[in-house]
Amino acid sequence: MKPSDESVNAACKKLWDALQDLTVQDVLDQKNHVFRPLVTAQDTMTVENFLKMLGKESILACPVVNADNSIIGMVSVYDVLDKAILPNVFDPKLFSVNVLDIVKHTPQSFLQQPVSEFVYVTKESAYPYIFPSHQTLATVVKALAIHGYHRCLIVDSASVLDAIQSGTLPADAHVTVLTQTDIVRFLFESLESKTPVPSEIVEPLFRSKLEVLESKPVVAIGPGYSALNGFRIMHFHNVTAVPVVEDGTVCGMLCGADLCHVNADNWQMLQEPVRLFLEHQEVGTVNASNTIADGVKKMLDKHLHHLWVTKGDIVERAVTFTDLLELVVQAN
């Protein structure tokens, strides 16, 4: 749905025109922007070690490479959730079975499966986008927004792109991951003239109210829910996070990243109440009357992917970086 506010529509079109004149390399070259070296997982790495690595690197996904160092796909924590934990819970025949019993009898051997088994669970893991660094930023934003992808691979030349698509990864190739967060941060920093994008291009959109974003209804859980039940609800409603609400107030958030500290020794913690499962949890809430800039700043400062929009003490909806990129794309 296109923005109904003509001023917002005009702001999106203005920004879109700017994105067509920018390339991915402009984001990579941005000062004050940290791009870490590409983190990869060997296809023989166990799921347990894979989750541990994601937690250590503070990332949610990474490419998987084979013995020839060729990228065979991308795997995220949500691929692990979809294939390893939740099918047993979501079997309709087991809906009447006590969740705790399922946990007690779920084979822990799944943690020892090779991560290669999880490459083709979702479209994003099986067919990750790969772009050369000279690709226009508009093309990348459109691809991520329309298909709901959260990240893509960036290579340093068209020849490297051709090599990867043919099944090889040159030893001297530069490959990195570009995320929605990276793009939104780049645009947000334009407000302070820290990027090639003039501030007057991005300011009209970022000064708009959060209510212009086409956000999704909130699916919430209580603090007494087990962590496993919370993951089950996330899967059933096709969301990547749920707020933990007590007496109308957001007191925590369960998301895929929380799976990263689960291992063979503490597997039973999934049956604990979610308030105990979430030891340290940053939560982002904002009022609907706040601006998009307010919301983006809070998400970037707190390293969040979701923001809960409240009215009084009631959580009304959730907004994400995807919602912002979709707004820009749909207006064009």
| pLDDT tens digits, 222-248 | 988 988 888 888 888 888 889 998 887
* CB under 8 A, 24+ apart: contacts of 111-114: 111/46, 111/47, 111/48, 111/84, 111/263, 111/264, 111/267, 112/46, 112/47, 112/48, 113/46, 113/47, 113/84, 114/43, 114/44, 114/45, 114/46, 114/47
Are the C-beta atoms of 131 and 155 separated by less than 8 Å?
yes
Residue 279 to residue 244: CA distance in whole angstroms = 13
Question: Per-residue pLDDT for 329 more than 90?
Answer: yes
Q: How many CB atoms lie within 10 A of CB 215?
A: 19
Stretch 110-130: mean pLDDT: 82
Place 121 in a pLDDT band, splitting at 50, 70 and 90: confident
DSSP state of 132: E
Q: What pLDDT, on a 0 to 100 scale, did the predictor assign at position 97?
A: 46
Q: Minimal CA–CA distance to 118: which of 29, 48, 169?
A: 48
Place 204 in a pLDDT band, splitting at 50, 70 and 90: very high
Residue 173 to residue 161: CA distance in whole angstroms = 9
Question: Per-residue pLDDT for 37 more than 60?
Answer: yes
Q: What pLDDT, on a 0 to 100 scale, did the predictor assign at position 246?
A: 85
Q: What pLDDT, on a 0 to 100 scale, did the predictor assign at position 88?
A: 54
Question: Per-residue pLDDT for 44 more than 90?
Answer: yes
Token digits of residue 255 = 């998301």
More confident residue, 169 or 117: 117
Amino acid at the residue 89: V
Counting residues of the chain whose pLDDT is more than 70, the rounded percentage is 85
Token digits of residue 212 = 């212009």
